[in-house]
Amino acid sequence: MKLYYNKNLKELARQLRKRGTNSEVQLWKCLRKKQLGYDFHRQKPIGNYIVDFYCPCLKLAIELDGYSHQFDKTRKKDKDKEEYLTKLGIKVLRFTDEQVLNNTDGVLKEIAKAIRTEDEHTSPCFA
């Protein structure tokens, strides 16, 4: 299934990449250049949403939750976003900023575990 690309989010995604949070920058250092064996994109527009990190080959999204995600309004938006992505067949992993900053190795192990699981159910990718 082809993902809908909202070109109106292109500039916002670019700005989010430029001013990434400390946790986004830290995780990106570990995901970029296929360090986990797959190509990840940062601040990827999908439909009317922007996901923090996305691997198109595995249909795997990674979301990082900072301070604002503790509020009900933001949690509702997160839930709607995750439901939309799930309907597209995208698996969503969610971590807090604190997890990434204080336990990067643990986060990477969880991502690697998800990659192994998705890899078993996905046809070979040619990035």
Per-residue pLDDT tens over the stretch 72-103: 778 899 999 999 999 999 999 999 999 999 99
How many domains does one find in the chain? 1
Higher-scoring residue by pLDDT: 66, 121: 66
Q: Which helix (H) or strand (E) holds 53?
A: strand 49-55
What pLDDT does residue 110 have?
A: 97
Average pLDDT on 30-38 reads 96
Q: Spell out a b/e string for 46-64, using b for 16 or more CB atoms within 10 Å of the CB, else e.
A: bbebbbbbbbbbbbbbbbb
The pTM of the whole model exceeds 0.85: yes
Residue 87 domain-assigned (yes or no): yes
Domain of residue 82, CATH code: 3.40.960.10
Split at pLDDT 50, 70, 90, the class of 127 is very low
Residue 126 domain-assigned (yes or no): no
The boundaries of the domain holding residue 81 are 7-120
